[in-house]
């Protein structure tokens, strides 16, 4: 009986202590500009890094990223998605049109290959006017 | 062995002696072989020291011989020793263990296994490491290293048993016929007692060490877990130990009249019980035979009562006239040696091999025990009597040795043929090397023996008294040396019995020499060749060569890997990263294709800034039995055939590789009912309209010929689905924007696997395997605007 309880406890501990990156969904690890940050110079690209299990990657055909201003206008070139320059397929990139000061929303949808686990998310960053020249 | 050539006259030719010597050498080489055995771990998934990108669902171990599931197990623990395995199961043929695992985090894991082999009851344990998500350590992996303690214990048991049995053989066949005195006989008693006690202790220790290997906490588990009797009565290791202990105890009985009676009665009982147990399949099977056990117990108790009465009463009646019963100790010795044969690999190789092993042991004991007993008797004699005693004993000893060596040669030759695959195995396998060491020792002992027989023994027999004494002293010294070498040989024997026979190793080495399966295909603009060695489930080597446009290798920053997907089972697809060896050549090794069945391999070439270029190959591994058609699968296939047949015209791409590196890719355009246009990767273009075919190579002129049968197009899937049998469903996979069901079937000599959309019933991909044909059909799309006309027409 004691062994049984011990076994169950061990099982629970191992089952619950799984690191997140073993789940089938991509998780946003970091981004540039980073979520919630305030930057002084307007970026021309937004880059997102994802955490995936070793056997997975982002599906370039299904993963998307877009950047929007406060008025709901799209400020990227409309082609944002998996960065094909990253051979690990763990990065997404959106190229921005020239933008001014303001708060912008980044919306992403990450679809994993091969099992098509879908995760979505969004975050903001703010561009403040840099002090005059 | 001083008397091997007793029957030979000194004048015989040297050549003949040499031939005999060589024969002896080879024959004795097999001495230990029948007693050696062992299951070994043939392969595993994941293989030892593998570094896996993703955690495995299970660990599968394949062994070369069946194990006893009651005493065998495998577990997986993490680096801190915490078990991570969830379950253990043994296959029906008892050669495969499967450990199921939960989701493993990154880290290094240890697979521990232990097994009790059905053939010989020996135990082996082993371990190896694998890593998930990180580099695996390259060092530690062990298979059944039983350690010095087991070699020592086994050596002690062998030596004691051979000495004990040999002293009785010496007594009966040498000392008594040569008129040895009672005093000489009593000189042998300490040897028998010492050997007997050593035998009992070492047998018990050997059994305990086996239990130690089988259970982590042996004594408490043996006693409280009720495992003692199953292990003792239900396994060959236990049977051997029981027989050895029983016979050994009987041989220790004093040679007084009561002792002799008890020994005779005990032997009869042991033989009866062993015979009944052998018929029933082991002592535990005998006693658990339900209703039979009660009468058996009654018989045993009545018999025991009779024994006690006989032992107490008969000697008092008969007194000094009680017969000597000289054959009883001899038979008991034979039973004792049978205790070694029971738990030897020979017992798993049929009755002839077991008998040969037993006779081999008897002959060996006559030699070993004979030397030792002869020395003891001579040492026991007063110095002045030694020469006369030696002259009395030596002729009979020579006969005994001659017969023993002859028997050893015959049984040894038989065992060598049975266990050694070829002459090379002497050098290439650990078993063979040990055997070689033993052979050299045997050679040394033969030289000494020949020197004794032809040099010293005639001197002892003929020279005058003073020289006789000197010759005898040298003879004794020489025999002592022989006994020492004999002990070394026994040590080699003890080590041999824990080394898997060369034949076992030879089989496991074979796969690396297998011819690879070479699948070739086009991945975008890259020519890809994938060599899989061996092309069967288990540990495989993958070698990929990639050539870009113009025959140039891809740039160094290119990355190449394989995706392997099991189509008949919902296992996670695995990515096999390939490491670059030289420009355009990439290699990996792994056990990802561990299970037999329908696999699909996709070779991917990835360049920075570009979408992946890939090509897909079918790869069925192992034998797949034809299964009964699943109605749901048949309905899907029929639906897909119908849906695809509705296209009035379509495009498709077909890639066929022959498994030896050849490939043809064909781009088809088809227009119902009888028009087809195609272009192949080798530069051929064709147009078929009905039974007329136009062909050209490159931009050359069109050639026209006539097909034996007119073309009739019914749909992209129709030709392959015709005559399908054994239609079954495989896994579900995402495809296009929907989920696909993999449907597999057989038709003629070909096997098919199709990806069929669950909603649309569209065919997304078709894989086919036939002898020397590995086909991938993909990009099947309807295209309304296709109009196929003869070449040259507007």
Q: What is the 3-state secondary structure (H, E, C) of B45-102?
A: ECCCCEEECCCCCEEEEEECCCECHHHCEEEEEECCCCECEEEEEECCCCCEEEEEEC
- pLDDT grade, residue B540 (50/70/90)? confident
A15 vs B contacts (CB less than 8 Å): 102-103
- pLDDT grade, residue B676 (50/70/90)? very high
Mean pLDDT of B180-184: 75
Which range has highest mean pLDDT (B103-107, B189-193, B505-509)? Answer: B189-193
Phi-psi region of B680 (alpha: psi -120 to 50; beta: other; left: phi over 0): beta
ipTM of the complex: 0.77
Residue in A22, A55, A114 closest to B105 by CB: A22
Order of strands, edge to edge, in the sheet holding B517-523? B517-523, B526-533, B540-547, B585-590, B579-582
Least CA distance to A114: which residue of chain B? B573
Residue B289 is predicted with a pLDDT of 54
Residue B464 is predicted with a pLDDT of 60
Mutate one of A10, A16, A53, A81 to test the B interface: name it (highest B CB count within 10 A). Answer: A53
Q: How far is A4 from chain B (nearest CA, A)?
A: 13
* Lowest-pLDDT choice from B12-16, B37-41, B487-491: B12-16
- Please give the full DSSP string across B546-567, using - where no structure is assigned: EE-GGGPPPPTT-EEEEEEEES
Is A22 in CB contact (< 8 Å) with chain B?
Answer: yes
Using a pLDDT cut of 90, give the percent of chain B over it: 16
Q: Which two tokens stand for residue B276?
A: 């009944």
Higher pLDDT, B109 or B309: B109
Q: Is it the case that residue B165 has pLDDT exceeding 70?
A: yes
| CA nearest neighbour of B624 among B536, B519, B541 | B536
Residue A123 is predicted with a pLDDT of 94
pLDDT digits (tens, 9 = 90+) for B227-239: 677 777 777 778 8
Contact B611 A55 (CB under 8 A): no
Residue B66 is predicted with a pLDDT of 85
Residue B513 is predicted with a pLDDT of 47
Quick check: bond before B8 cis, omega within 30?
Answer: no
- pLDDT grade, residue B342 (50/70/90)? confident
Contact B557 A55 (CB under 8 A): no
Is B83 in CB contact (< 8 Å) with chain A?
Answer: yes
Higher pLDDT, B139 or B385: B385
Q: Is it the case that residue B11 has pLDDT exceeding 50?
A: no
Residue B749 is predicted with a pLDDT of 84
Residue B292 is predicted with a pLDDT of 58
Residue B448 is predicted with a pLDDT of 78
Is B577 in CB contact (< 8 Å) with chain A?
Answer: no
Provide, for chain A, the percentages of residues in helix, strand and coil under a 3-state DSSP scheme, each rounded to the nearest 5.
Answer: 15, 40, 45
Return mean pLDDT, chain B: 79
- pLDDT grade, residue B264 (50/70/90)? confident
Task: For residue A59, report the phi and psi dihedrals to the nearest 5 degrees.
Answer: -85, 110
Is A14 in CB contact (< 8 Å) with chain B?
Answer: yes
Q: Is it the case that residue B546 has pLDDT exceeding 80?
A: yes
Higher pLDDT, A89 or B352: A89
B83 vs A contacts (CB less than 8 Å): 10
Q: How far is B524 from chain A (nearest CA, A)?
A: 16
Residue in B53, B82, B559 closest to A87 by CB: B559
Residue B177 is predicted with a pLDDT of 83
Beta bridge partners of B116: B123
Residue in A19, A53, A114 closest to B563 by CB: A114
Residue B32 is predicted with a pLDDT of 39
A10 vs B contacts (CB less than 8 Å): 82-83
Residue A108 is predicted with a pLDDT of 95
pLDDT digits (tens, 9 = 90+) for B681-718: 888 899 999 889 998 988 888 888 888 888 888 888 98
Residue B97's contacts (CB-CB under 8 Å, 6 or more residues apart) are B60, B61, B63, B67, B72, B73, B74, B88, B89, B90, B91, B113
Residue B504 is predicted with a pLDDT of 43
Residue A132 is predicted with a pLDDT of 52
Contact B572 A84 (CB under 8 A): no
Residue in A11, A19, A55 closest to B53 by CB: A55
Least CA distance to B86: which residue of chain A? A11
d(CA B563, CA B575): 5
Q: How far is A131 from chain B (nearest CA, A)?
A: 37
Q: Is it the case that residue B9 has pLDDT exceeding 60?
A: no
Q: How far is A37 from chain B (nearest CA, A)?
A: 29
| CA nearest neighbour of B157 among B324, B337, B286 | B337
Q: Is it the case that residue B669 has pLDDT exceeding 90?
A: yes
pLDDT digits (tens, 9 = 90+) for B117-148: 877 777 777 788 888 877 765 544 554 445 66
B611 vs A contacts (CB less than 8 Å): 60, 84
Cα B382 to chain centroid, rounded:
55
Q: How far is A72 from chain B (nearest CA, A)?
A: 28
B103 vs A contacts (CB less than 8 Å): 15, 18, 22
Q: How far is B739 from chain A (nearest CA, A)?
A: 11
Q: pLDDT 10s digit of each residue in chain A, 133 long?
A: 455 555 544 444 443 333 333 445 788 999 999 999 999 999 999 999 999 887 789 999 999 999 999 999 999 998 999 999 999 999 999 999 999 999 999 999 999 988 888 999 999 999 998 765 4
Residue B318 is predicted with a pLDDT of 67
Half-sphere exposure of residue B51: CA atoms within 13 angstroms, side-chain side: 10
Identify the three-state secondary structure at position B337.
helix
How many interface pairs between A and B have CB atoms less than 8 angstroms apart?
50
Is B135 in CB contact (< 8 Å) with chain A?
Answer: no
């Amino acid at each position: 009986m004691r062994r049984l309880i011990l076994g169950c406890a061990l099982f629970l501990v191992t089952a619950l202590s799984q690191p997140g990156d073993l789940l089938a969904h991509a998780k946003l690890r970091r981004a540039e500009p980073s979520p919630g940050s305030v930057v002084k110079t307007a970026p021309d690209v937004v880059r997102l890094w994802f955490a995936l299990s070793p056997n997975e990657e982002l599906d370039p055909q299904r993963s998307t990223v877009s950047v929007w201003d406060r008025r709901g206008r799209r400020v990227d070139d409309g082609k944002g998605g998996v960065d094909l320059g990253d051979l690990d397929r763990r990065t997404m990139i959106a190229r921005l049109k020239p933008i001014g000061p303001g708060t912008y929303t980044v919306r992403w949808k990450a679809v994993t290959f091969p099992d098509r686990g879908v995760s979505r998310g969004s975050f903001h960053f703010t561009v403040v006017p840099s002090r005059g020249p | 062995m001083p008397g091997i050539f007793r029957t030979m006259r000194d004048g015989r030719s040297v050549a003949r002696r040499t031939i005999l010597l060589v024969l002896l050498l080879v024959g004795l080489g097999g001495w230990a072989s029948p007693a050696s055995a062992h299951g070994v771990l043939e392969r595993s998934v994941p293989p030892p020291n593998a570094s896996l990108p993703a955690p495995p669902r299970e660990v599968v171990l394949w062994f070369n011989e069946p194990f006893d599931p009651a005493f065998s197990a495998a577990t997986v623990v993490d680096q801190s020793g915490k078990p991570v395995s969830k379950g253990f199961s043994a296959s029906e043929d008892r050669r495969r263990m499967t450990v199921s695992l939960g989701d493993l985090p990154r880290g290094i894991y240890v697979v521990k296994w232990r097994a009790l082999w059905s053939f010989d009851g020996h135990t082996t344990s082993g371990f190896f490491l694998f890593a998930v998500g990180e580099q695996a350590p390259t060092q530690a992996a062990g298979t059944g290293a039983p350690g010095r303690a087991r070699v020592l214990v086994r050596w002690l048991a062998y030596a004691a048993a051979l000495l004990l049995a040999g002293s009785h053989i010496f007594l009966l066949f040498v000392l008594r016929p040569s008129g040895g005195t009672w005093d000489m006989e009593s000189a042998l008693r300490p040897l028998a007692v010492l050997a007997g006690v050593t035998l009992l202790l070492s047998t018990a220790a050997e059994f305990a060490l086996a239990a130690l290997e089988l259970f982590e906490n042996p004594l408490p588990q043996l006693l409280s877990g009720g495992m003692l009797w199953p292990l003792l009565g239900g396994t060959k290791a236990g049977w051997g130990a029981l027989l050895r202990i029983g016979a050994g105890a009987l041989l220790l009985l004093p040679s007084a009249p009561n002792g002799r009676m008890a020994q005779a009665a005990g032997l009869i009982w042991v033989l009866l019980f062993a015979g009944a147990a052998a018929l029933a399949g082991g002592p535990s099977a005998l006693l658990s035979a339900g209703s039979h056990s009660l009468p058996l117990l009654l018989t045993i108790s009545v018999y025991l009562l009779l024994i006690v009465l006989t032992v107490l009463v008969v000697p008092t009646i008969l007194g000094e006239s009680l017969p000597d019963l000289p054959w009883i100790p001899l038979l008991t010795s034979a039973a004792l040696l049978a205790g070694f044969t029971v738990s030897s690999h020979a017992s798993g190789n049929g009755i002839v091999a077991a008998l040969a092993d037993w006779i081999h042991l008897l002959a060996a004991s006559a030699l070993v025990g004979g030397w030792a007993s002869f020395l003891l008797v001579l040492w026991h004699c007063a110095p002045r009597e030694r020469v006369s005693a030696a002259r009395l004993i030596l002729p009979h000893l020579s006969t005994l040795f001659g017969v023993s060596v002859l028997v050893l040669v015959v049984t040894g030759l038989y065992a060598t043929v049975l266990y050694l695959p070829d002459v090379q195995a002497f050098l290439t396998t650990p078993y063979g090397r040990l055997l070689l060491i033993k052979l050299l020792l045997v050679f040394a002992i033969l030289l000494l023996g020949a020197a004794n027989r032809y040099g010293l023994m005639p001197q002892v027999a003929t020279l005058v008294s003073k020289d006789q004494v000197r010759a005898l002293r040298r003879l004794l010294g020489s025999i002592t040396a022989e006994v020492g070498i004999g002990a070394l040989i026994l040590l080699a024997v003890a080590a041999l019995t824990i080394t898997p026979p060369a034949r076992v190793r030879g089989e496991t080495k074979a796969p690396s020499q297998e011819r690879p399966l070479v699948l070739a295909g086009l991945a975008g603009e890259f020519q890809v060749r994938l060599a899989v060695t061996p092309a069967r489930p288990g540990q495989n080597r993958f070698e990929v060569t990639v050539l870009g446009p113009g025959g140039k290798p891809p740039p160094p920053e290119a990355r190449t890997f394989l995706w392997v997907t099991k189509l008949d089972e919902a296992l996670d697809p695995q990515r096999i990263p390939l490491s670059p060896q030289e420009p355009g050549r990439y290699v990996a090794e792994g056990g990802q294709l561990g299970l037999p069945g329908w696999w699909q391999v996709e070779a991917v070439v990835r360049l920075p800034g570009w979408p992946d270029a890939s090509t897909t190959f079918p790869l069925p591994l192992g034998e797949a039995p034809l299964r009964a058609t699943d109605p749901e699968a048949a309905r899907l296939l029929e639906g897909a055939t119908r849906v695809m047949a509705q296209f009035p015209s379509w495009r498709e791409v077909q890639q066929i590789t022959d498994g030896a590196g050849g490939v043809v890719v064909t781009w088809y355009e088809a227009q119902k009912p009888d028009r087809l246009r195609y272009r192949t990767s080798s530069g051929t273009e064709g147009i078929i309209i009905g039974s007329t075919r136009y062909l050209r190579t490159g931009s050359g002129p069109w050639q026209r010929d006539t097909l034996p049968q007119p073309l009739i197009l019914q749909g992209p899937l129709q030709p392959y689905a015709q005559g399908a049998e054994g239609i079954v469903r495989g896994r579900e996979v995402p495809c296009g924007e929907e989920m696909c069901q993999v449907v597999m079937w057989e038709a003629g000599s070909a096997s098919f696997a199709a990806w069929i959309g669950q909603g649309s019933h569209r065919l997304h991909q078709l894989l086919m395997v036939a002898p020397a044909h590995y086909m991938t059909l993909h990009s099947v799309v309807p295209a309304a605007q296709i109009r196929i006309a003869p070449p040259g027409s507007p």
